[in-house]
Structure 1
Amino acid sequence: MNTAPRTSVKVAYAIAGGALLIVLTQLIGTFELAGRAWPPLADVLSYVLTPTGAGLLVRNSLVTFTSAAQGFALGSAVAVLGAALALVVPMFRPGLDRFAAILHAVPTIALAPLLITTVGREDAPAVIAALSVGFVMFVTMASGFANTGSAQHDLFTVFGSNRARRLVRLELPRAVPAFFDGLALGAPAAVLGATIGEWFGAPMGLGLVIVSAMQNYQMSLLWAAALAATAMSLLAYLIFVQLQRIAMRRFT
């Protein structure tokens, strides 16, 4: 079956939807339908294109990206190791499940002061990003490790495989699609976590720009920083979605 027409239709719908969103955003700001706090999109883009605005956004976007990447790597690694430990040592599974759920349930605004006093203001955004990614990765990896049939387990048991060898030879390959699924979901969470972490006194970053712009009523700057964070999250999500599709074709 030829999928080209369907792809063309999807692209057309995406372009039409994006154009409609841009027009609505501009109209809402122009006629102040949501108040003066919602500027026209043209004003925001004009600020972004100025040398001062572009330089400010690029510098702070790089800081946020660095914190998000560090938290993303840390949270993903700890979550994968935790899920693997729960699989190899089943007695740890209930405790790890409850710990992950409780840690995820604690509001970030309650954790931020504690992290600032322990890891410092500069490292707090990366830690908050890691916490945001960790729960998503733990859940997806635990689900991915469980995505094996009893017949496969029985076969490995018959051949004398222990839990660690079965993890390497069976569960890990079967969990690769779930791993990339968790990365796709965790990447935007890392950017959001890093941005929120910067609200609490970080020296630089998009979160600091958003708070400063809000306090000084610089709406164009505020929306430009928000759009930069959104674009970063969307780009990271799209990259990992493509990697997930490749993994799905290879391992399923």
Structure 2
Amino acid sequence: MRQARTSRVHDGLLVTAGTVLAVAAMEGIGRSQVFGDNWPPLSQLLDVLNDPVTRPLLGRSLDATAVAAGLGLLVGTLVALAVAVLGVVVPVLRAGLDRLAAVVNAVPLIALGPLLIATVGREGSSTVIAALAVGFVMFVSITSGLDAASTAHRDVLAVLGASRTTTLLRLQLPASVPTVLDGLTQAAPAAVLGAVVGEWFGAPRGLGTLLVSTMQNFQTLLLWTAGLVAALLAMAFYGVMVALRSLLAWRFQ
């Protein structure tokens, strides 16, 4: 217990030190004008965040991206779970499903934008791309977790005459929870990235839309601020999943 507490304190100190160094570096580079006006100091970005004119715009964009990323995370996880479970229940499909997931993951997300606009529309494309960004990570995590159940436990259920479905529900799914939670910590920031990329293709609102607009209009401060907000959103998603993992993982170990 004491060792675990010491490790958490050590990790917390490292995170704090890294954050302070990153903030100091960004402020110092901006103040020194090494890159001219293209790299503003962090303090100016905070002023933009507090500006009563730009704050509502950033808030609306943040809300739209957060909703798209959250829906994408949920949809991508559920689809990955369904495909992984299908491979367990019908083993003959397992190899084909693995290859299909690899092929879908190999397609660049940005190349899917025009196709998604023609099918799901501009508003839905960000959610779909977020789900695609999440899907492969979660598929790998879930399949690995389902295979993590011990051979001895599988043999006991087989001797007792348990079906594949019973084995899945009583053994494999509970055994997969820690691995699935680890996958969610990686998938959550990917969902934010997918949502932002999806918004580049003409979404009516969102941080991705704001990034494109400010870049085209050379609004450097607002561009950096939108990027900062997107990074903070990804960190928030990651932090929520880490907290969820800490809360639930120990119950299934």
Which TM bucket (shorter chain)?
A: over 0.9
Match of 2:102 in 1: 101
Distance 1:8 1:121, change over 3 A: same
Match of 2:250 in 1: 249
Is 1:68 paired with 2:60? no
The alpha-carbon deviation at position 248 of structure 1 amounts to: 2.3
Is 1:12 paired with 2:30? no
Q: How many residues align?
A: 252
Q: Distance in 2 between matches of 1:139 and 1:246?
A: 22
Q: Distance in 1 between matches of 2:165 and 2:14?
A: 48
Is 1:48 paired with 2:49? yes
Which runs of no fewer than 5 residues in structure 1 stay unpaired?
none
Q: Which amino acid aligns with 2:2?
A: N
Q: Distance in 2 between matches of 1:171 and 1:145?
A: 5
Identity of aligned residues (%): 45
Match of 1:208 in 2: 209
The alpha-carbon deviation at position 139 of structure 1 amounts to: 0.3
Question: Residues 55-134 of structure 1 correspond to what in structure 2 (within 5 A)?
Answer: 55-134=56-135
Q: Distance in 2 between matches of 1:151 and 1:2?
A: 33
Q: Distance in 2 between matches of 1:223 and 1:172?
A: 43
Q: Which amino acid aligns with 2:234?
A: S
TM-score, length-scaled by structure 1? 0.96
User: What do the CA deviations read for 1:20-76 (whole angstroms, capped 9, x no partner)?
Assistant: 211110111122223432111111111111111211111110001111111111110
Report the 3-state secondary structure (helix = DSSP H, G, I; strand = E; otherwise coil) of the residue aligned with 1:122.
helix
Distance 1:192 1:2, change over 3 A: same
Distance 1:165 1:6, change over 3 A: closer
Q: Which amino acid aligns with 1:225?
A: A
User: What do the CA deviations read for 1:121-163 (whole angstroms, capped 9, x no partner)?
Assistant: 0000000000001101000000000001222111111111110
Match of 2:179 in 1: 178
TM-score, length-scaled by structure 2? 0.95
Distance 1:170 1:64, change over 3 A: same
Deviates most, 222-231 or 240-249? 240-249
